[in-house]
Amino acid sequence: MAPPTKASSGPKKPLRLLMLHGYTQSGPLFHSKTRALEKAITKALSSYDAHFSYPTGPIKLNPADIPGYNYTSDGDEEPEPAFGWWRRKDRVHPIRKGETEIVYTGIQDGLGRIAQTIRDDGPFDGVIGFSQGACSAGMVASLLEPGRKEAFDESSSQEAQREAFPSSFIFDNAKPQSPLRFAIIYSGFPAPGQRYAAFYEPPLKTPTLHFLGTLDGVVEEARSRALIEKCQRPREAVHPGGHFLPSQRPWLDAAVSFIRGNMDKAKDDGGGDLNATEVKEERVEEMDIPF
């Protein structure tokens, strides 16, 4: 895992951000790709002491797991170490004959790695994720909301094959983690099927900002919008690019403004979280960001 980076010093209120990389990336690689975003947050939110934590997923990938990579041993360089939070597997449904289902193998390990980062580097104010890391970010925001474990317990009682609430996300009072103040989702998507329904039923209360690329050929718009529909307070920003974090000023400003708005909201509420207060609905056209 890349060590947390400290953006500024001084007697300031901390702003801790959990940064989750995409499939085939790593914490250090994702850090190198988010320098523009990190710089924009640090500069614009200078009243906060910003910290960014970049864990690496526990699933080490083989060359065959990397889309589009054709590795041969006759002189080709080996790929950079690549990791994921889980592997996708399509299989025959164990109960419903004739149906297939998508299973995220290793997901409990992936969420466990994130939970350990929360214990080591948290508590966190928000999470920022890209692609598979964006899906993970939505899961993390969900798991930290009040009442989510009960939703998982009820879901598991209906069908044994549904995903159980991760025991790694049961935090003790010695190292508490409140519901996140926000989640920023780049090229995100929901975990599909009834197996993972409890992550999104009831819908996420955590304020979310979703970035969609009009030329994204990896995570198509319909998948991203499926996640948006599972959030109670979604905002969206559509950029004219592909499967990456946009680093142009308008999109950096959008992320910064979203963070500032939710941190200021928490400050106005005396540091409250989703257990204590509901976030008021805000009209998109009233926000000073290019949605």
Per the annotation, the verdict on 131 as an active-site residue is: yes
All residues at 6 or more sequence positions from 250 whose CB lies less than 8 Å from its CB, including other chains:
290
The DSSP secondary structure of the chain, one letter per residue, reads -EEEEE---SS-EEEEEEEE--TTB-HHHHHHHSHHHHHHHHHHTTTEEEEEEE---SEEPPGGGSTT----SSSPPPPPP-EES-EEEEEE-SSSTT-EEEEEETHHHHHHHHHHHHHHH---SEEEEETHHHHHHHHHHHHTSTTHHHHHHHHHHH-TTSPPPPGGG---TTS--PPPSEEEEES--PPPSGGGGGGTSSPB-S-EEEEEETT-SSS-HHHHHHHHTTBSSEEEEEESS-SS---SHHHHHHHHHHHHHHHHHHHHTTS--TTT-PPPP--GGGSSS--
Per the annotation, the verdict on 120 as an active-site residue is: no
**Torsion angle, CA of 18/6/274/23, rounded to 10 degrees?**
-10
Q: Looking at 8, 156, 243, 253, which residue is catalytic? A: 243
Q: Looking at 26, 131, 136, 257, which residue is catalytic? A: 131
Q: Which residues are catalytic?
A: 131, 216, 243
